[in-house]
Structure 1
Amino acid sequence: MWMSWRAATERALYAKDGFYRSAGQPARHFRTSVHASPRFAAALLSLMPDAASIVDVGAGDGGLLAQLDTDARLIAVEKAPRPADLPARIEWVAELPDEITGLVIANEWLDNIPVDVVELASDGPHLVEVSRDGTERLGGPPDEADVAWLERWWPLAEEGQRAEIGRPRDEAWADLVKRVHRGVVVAADYGHTLDSRPFYGSLTGYRQGRQVAPVPDGSCDITAHVALDSCAAAVPETGLTTQRDALRSLGIIGKRPPIELARADPQGYLRELQRAGEEAELIDRHGLGSFGWLVHSLSAKIGL
């Protein structure tokens, strides 16, 4: 059965037997900033330390919320079943709340919103269709709204060039922000902008921590990098920065402790060395630090 990549990915990730419906499965397949260090969660909390509630969208195993030192109401939004060992104070819901007041975090959420893939042929762009085993073929043309999005945000110039139509992610970001009446909304993801779109697109899969071919049979995560500039433009006053710059402005700098501390306080030196290593991973310009951050504040201005 042939499907567009958007439909096939939706089924592969979110159907009853899909990748994200399997309890505890996704966390075994990729490492995020949450796994790198609890300092990531603490830095996010510093954006709104007085938040009445904190919502983690695409919460995975709930690890980010579990790391927070706060009395705020904690809400994990995730389609997978609730992990058995998750602290009882964390609420677990499958859908976004209608109204939110507080801090909203969407770490590696937008990249898992399914998108269509198109390829430029001699007569214009065509949707790429895929079967359950990953075999592809060219289908019909995209609809007018998607053609308009491509012309504005991902123009195709050469036959064989591919793009992922990011309009569903623009709409998801706009919908998320619309639900927040007062607070700060942050989305962090791998992404690109108009001057750096990948020629063949970025659709890929992950299994057991390794990059694999994206086969939509429920056996792997299927993801594509986010057109971050398009998402930012979908909501007025959305800021766009890198994780490296954002975290450095929040005090995550990865500075090693002075060697003199090793003699005066060996255990303290080791703790500070571990901290520096964790921070360095979070802001590595070739790794997690290259993530893009979309930031929208509906409360006090934040200095990012």
Structure 2
Amino acid sequence: MTDHATDISRRLEDRIRAEIRARGSVLPFDRFMELALYAPGLGYYVAGAPKFGPGGDFVTAPELSPLFGRCLAVQCAEVLERLDGGEILEFGAGSGALAVQILLELEALERLPKRYRILEPSPDLQERQRAAIQTAAPHLLARCDWLTTLPECFAGVVIANEVLDAMPVHRFRIGTDGEILEIGVTEADGRLVEVAVPPISPGLIETVSTLQAAGLADAPGYESEINLRLAPWLAALSSTLERGLALLIDYGYPRAEYYQPERHMGTLRCHHRHQAHSDPYVQLGLQDITAHVDFTAVAEASVAAGFEPAGFTTQAHFLIGCGIDRLMQAVAPEAALDQALGAKQLLLPTAMGERFKVLGLAKGVDGPWSGFAMRDLSDRL
């Protein structure tokens, strides 16, 4: 660990400790996670260290193969055609690879959006994304702009690839007598540690009780996560998207699979230099912290926000529906092997093919949509 990284981690820990004391000794886990990932100048996603690709902490689909973005572009083109134009809004564009892939493919399809907008709170990542587009598609850079808050209103496509898994989550535990407890963060013996306390976050008891009414998450000792920020996020998104389709791509499960008895320690994972582990209290600001997505909760909150579910499927079926096989056939011979290897990672059940899901949310525009034509699993939500 470099001196700079050590300094960031120490300053972030001091910031978290100060907030624990200000809260009266226990910090809800969602606030701890928010600080660890997004504290200005210190959090993992804003502190400037490499995150994506072989030199970072994890690899996302656009880094594995340009076929991913090209398939998404096919779905975007379909939406833009039905709207007779529009914009694209990408949440958290990472390395910028996905934006490059989508823009170049839409140019080839003669379906470029009026604007390609990237909502990115990190100044460092904004610069990396701008540089990626400048290098690969300089003639399209003027069509792009960067935001730190949602636009007032637009029509078009929303893309959120591996965004929901990085939203701060609350954590809970079922006590020995069946009581609902909230997992928070406190100080003990000079370290940050977690502690289970009577719930202090509004909505936690009600949400866990709803799970238990369905026969889930009720065994003593059971631990898991709940994303109580989904509903406000989707409500804000609905208020800004007048017409169009939102594509949410992430790893996760329908509710019945998420909270099954065998998954009794939840899904929270940390990622550092391509190694996964379960301790969020080390390497503060230097490691990613994620949780799987409860897609049933997303679907329910989206309907309450004014969206219409437009389809739910695996990443593999979505990419096949968008014509990944056709795109592979058109690859130059010298690139065919690399493309085939990347496609395997995107499609195989043992890689990303089934672990990642795609949920479509429509507003003011009707399907059917190519990405959900092969197999729609909406009945599992």
> Could you say whether these structures have the same fold, taking a TM-score greater than 0.5 normalized by the shorter chain as the test?
yes
The 1:209–1:254 alpha-carbon spacing in structure 2 relative to 1, beyond 3 Å, is farther
Q: Secondary structure at the match of 1:137?
A: strand
> CA 1:25–1:168 in structure 2 vs 1: closer, same or farther (change >3 Å)?
same
Is residue 196 of structure 1 aligned with residue 196 of structure 2?
A: no
After the TM superposition, which residues 139-178 of structure 1 pair with which residues of structure 2 at under 5 Å, given as runs? 139-141=197-199, 143=201, 145-153=203-211, 155-178=216-239
Q: Name the aligned partner's letter for residue 280 of structure 2.
A: P
Q: Out of 104, 116, 119, which is 1:77 matched to?
A: 119
Aligned partner of 2:362 among 283, 293, 297: 297
What's 1:264 paired with?
none
* Aligned CA distance change for structure 1 residues 96 and 286 (closer, same or farther; 3 Å): farther
Query: Among 225, 247, 250, which residue is 1:186 paired with?
Result: 247
1:220 to 287, 293, 298: 287
Q: Which residue pairs with 2:59 in the alignment?
A: 31
What 5-or-longer segments of structure 1 have no aligned partner?
Answer: 258-266
Contact 1:18/1:218 (<8 A) preserved: yes
Paired with 1:21 and 1:134, the residues of 2 have a C-alpha distance of 22
Identity value in percent: 26
Corresponding residue number in structure 2 for 1:288? 352
- Closer/same/farther in 2, CA of residues 5 and 79 from structure 1, 3 Å limit: same
Distance 1:244 1:160 in 2: 35
Q: Say how many residue pairs are matched.
A: 295
Q: Tell me how far apart the structure 1 counterparts of residues 33 and 208 of structure 2 sit (CA, whole Å).
A: 20
Structure 2 partner of 1:41: 69
| Residue pair 1:153, 1:230 contacting (<8 A) in 2 also | no
1:7 corresponding residue in structure 2: 31
1:18 match: 43
**Whole-angstrom distance in 1 between the partners of 2:357 and 2:231:** 14
Q: Could you tell me how far apart the structure 1 residues matched to 2:288 and 2:99 are?
A: 22
TM-score by length of 2: 0.71
- Residue 130 of structure 1 corresponds to which residue in structure 2? 185
Unaligned runs of 5+ in 2: 1-19, 21-25, 135-140, 373-381
Aligned-residue offset at 1:162? 0.8
1:235 aligns with 2:324: no
Query: In the TM superposition, what is the alpha-carbon distance from 1:66 to its structure 2 partner?
Result: 2.1
- Larger mean CA deviation between 125-134 and 179-188 belongs to 125-134
Q: Deviations over 1:11-66 (max 9, x none)?
A: 11111211111235332211111111111111112113135311110212222112
Post-superposition CA distance 1:236-264 (Å, at most 9, x none):
3323221111111111249987xxxxxxx
- CA-based RMSD of the aligned residues comes to 2.4
AA aligned opposite 1:64: L
CA distance in 2, matches of 1:92, 1:256: 31
